[in-house]
Amino acid sequence: MSSKLPIASSKINPYRLINLLRLVVLGFFFQYRILNPVSDAYGLWMTSVICEIWFAVSWILDQFPNWYPIKQETYLDRLSMRYEKEGKPSELDAIDIFVSTVDPMKEPPLITANTVLSILALDYPVEKVACYVSDDGAAMLTFETLSETSEFAQKWVPFCKKFSIEPRVPQWYFSQKMDYLRNKVHPAFVRERRAMKREYEDFKVRINHLVSIVQKVPKEGWTTQDRTPWPGNNVRDHPGMIQVLLGQDGVCDVEGNELPRLVYVSREKRPGFEHNKKAGAMNSLVRVSAVLSNAPYLLNVDCDHYINNSKALREAMCFMMDPTLGKKVCYVQFPQRFDGIDSNDRHSNRNVVFFDVSNVVV
Residue 100, annotated ligand binder?
yes
Residue 335, pLDDT above cutoff 80: no
Would you say 89 and 126 are in contact if contact means Cβ atoms under 8 Å apart?
no
Cα separation of 322 and 361, whole Å?
12
Residue 356, annotated ligand binder?
no
Cα separation of 343 and 360, whole Å?
34
Residue 123, annotated ligand binder?
no
pLDDT at 347 (0 to 100): 54
Higher pLDDT, 215 or 197: 197
Note the pLDDT tens digit of each residue in 239-294: 889 999 998 777 788 888 899 999 999 998 888 888 888 888 899 999 999 999 99
pLDDT at 142 (0 to 100): 93
DSSP 124-178: S-GGGEEEEEEETT--HHHHHHHHHHHHHHHHHHHHHHHHT-SS--HHHHHHS-S
Cα separation of 115 and 108, whole Å?
11
pLDDT class of 354 with cuts at 50, 70, 90: low
Determine the average pLDDT of the residues in 99-121: 92
Cα separation of 111 and 109, whole Å?
5
Contacting residues for 54 by C-beta, under 8 A, at least 6 apart: none
pTM (2 d.p.): 0.84
pLDDT class of 345 with cuts at 50, 70, 90: low
pLDDT class of 91 with cuts at 50, 70, 90: very high
pLDDT at 15 (0 to 100): 85
Select from 300, 359, 297, 294 the least CA-distant residue to 328.
Answer: 359
Select from 70, 82, 81 the least CA-distant residue to 3.
Answer: 70
Select from 171, 175, 177 the least CA-distant residue to 200.
Answer: 171
Residue 253, annotated ligand binder?
no
Note the pLDDT tens digit of each residue in 10-42: 888 888 899 899 999 999 999 999 999 988 899
Determine the average pLDDT of the residues in 214-234: 81
Residue environment code for 44-60, b if the CB has 16+ CB neighbours within 10 A, otherwise e: ebeeeeeeeeeeeeeee
Select from 131, 129, 123 the least CA-distant residue to 161.
Answer: 123
Contacting residues for 131 by C-beta, under 8 A, at least 6 apart: 97, 99, 116, 119, 120, 260, 261, 262, 263
Residue 362, pLDDT above cutoff 50: no
Question: Which amino acid is it at 325?
Answer: L
Residue 4, annotated ligand binder?
no
Residue 278, annotated ligand binder?
yes
Contacting residues for 79 by C-beta, under 8 A, at least 6 apart: 1, 92, 314, 317, 318, 321
Residue 91, annotated ligand binder?
no
Residue 174, pLDDT above cutoff 80: yes
Note the pLDDT tens digit of each residue in 279-318: 888 999 999 999 999 999 999 998 888 898 999 999 999 9
Whole-number average pLDDT of the chain = 87
Note the pLDDT tens digit of each residue in 66-77: 788 788 888 999
Select from 70, 304, 76, 283 the least CA-distant residue to 169.
Answer: 304
Residue 356, pLDDT above cutoff 60: no
pLDDT at 254 (0 to 100): 87
Residue 183, pLDDT above cutoff 80: no
Strand 2-5 vs strand 71-74: parallel, antiparallel, or unpaired?
Answer: antiparallel
